[in-house]
Structure 1
């Protein structure tokens, strides 16, 4: 919540965020901003003043989940096999993204030029968190040297978005993720 706001603005922000969390959980990234405003008891201009873009709203809704993933990356950074640690973290990102509708959209790279005021902080946090895990796996020869955190996040976002309307999105997304990790070649 932005500091230095009046008390009523802080209350509006908190109310909008609470309603947005519920709406995104039910309707995903396409949750109606107008419905959020109505349910929060504010005008749509108030929602847009606090969250000038849909991405800003999705990032605010996803902030706690992203922070939990950052902490998990830290916990895994020195544990066991580097490939296993990286894949365990990515599996957590996948699980969170499936369960937390809207997180995948918040992590998506849309190709828009960087905006210092409304940058994609979710993606930046995830890149910073996963960097040590990926560097360790590359150093150990467990992951190809040209793989980037952005590649991995894009892969997960693509899988989650492609499977969100499947009858069992978690099972389908997990199958596709395992397939991507293993490659398409039959087991040796």
Structure 2
């Protein structure tokens, strides 16, 4: 294949295997971080290790693909909410979805806080832009305090993800912690 040729589309069975590997990797990385062995991901996906390596030549490539896929789904969610009639409610609905997904997932804190991997740069910038639009609309509607920007918001969210995860907070404790953070985002 030359540099100008597009890769051939995957056969249906190969696509299903790739999707199964990616789903198993997302689950494993979310629970255990990047330290999970590729053989364990293959086992969870119900495929051989060769299948994992055929689609993802390194664990880092698989980790990156798992995060990028998760971030792209979050971008789509933020964009869907960007035209909601109530910008404040849309902003907090999005944050709630981030909390539900990211409060217990080890890989999401890396994604929302930014990462130095070149593969993460585009989706993380797109995610920040989509969240920034929600934030700006919520601020303009008076639902969110005007003195914060997207960088402030992302630091607070990442810090709260890490704090609740690293302290072994229960679901109820995570919910209370994020409720306090959300209250702090509202105007005084």
TM (norm. structure 1) is 0.67
Equivalent runs, 1:115-130 vs 2, <5 Å: 115=118, 118-130=119-131
- Per the alignment, residue 87 of structure 1 pairs with 92
- Per the alignment, residue 103 of structure 2 pairs with 98
Q: Provide the C-alpha distance between the structure 1 equivalents of 2:28 and 2:183, rounded to a whole number of angstroms.
A: 36
Is 1:78–2:79 an aligned residue pair? Answer: no
CA 1:134–1:6 in 2, change beyond 3 Å: closer, same or farther? closer
Q: Provide the C-alpha distance between the structure 1 equivalents of 2:134 and 2:69, rounded to a whole number of angstroms.
A: 25
**Aligned Cα RMSD in Å?**
3.5
2:26 corresponds to which of 8, 12, 21 = 21
Q: Provide the C-alpha distance between the structure 2 equivalents of 1:87 and 1:99, rounded to a whole number of angstroms.
A: 19
Return 90-99 or 122-131, whichever deviates more. Answer: 122-131
1:32 corresponds to which of 24, 27, 36 = 36
Q: Provide the C-alpha distance between the structure 2 equivalents of 1:33 and 1:47, rounded to a whole number of angstroms.
A: 16
- Per the alignment, residue 134 of structure 2 pairs with 133
Does the CA-based 8 Å contact 2:104-2:165 persist in structure 1?
no
2:7 corresponds to which of 4, 8, 16 = 4
Is 1:108–2:113 an aligned residue pair? Answer: yes
Superimposed CA distance per residue, residues 57-107 of structure 1 (whole angstroms, 9 cap, x where no aligned partner): 331452564255335423xx3323x43432232122111212555323332
Return 60-69 or 124-133, whichever deviates more. Answer: 60-69
Structure 1 residue runs without a partner (length 5+): none
Q: Provide the C-alpha distance between the structure 1 equivalents of 2:109 and 2:98, rounded to a whole number of angstroms.
A: 9
CA 1:69–1:166 in 2, change beyond 3 Å: closer, same or farther? farther
Superimposed CA distance per residue, residues 17-60 of structure 1 (whole angstroms, 9 cap, x where no aligned partner): 133134235x3433514334653423575465376446513314
Aligned length: 174
Q: Provide the C-alpha distance between the structure 2 equivalents of 1:182 and 1:83, rounded to a whole number of angstroms.
A: 13
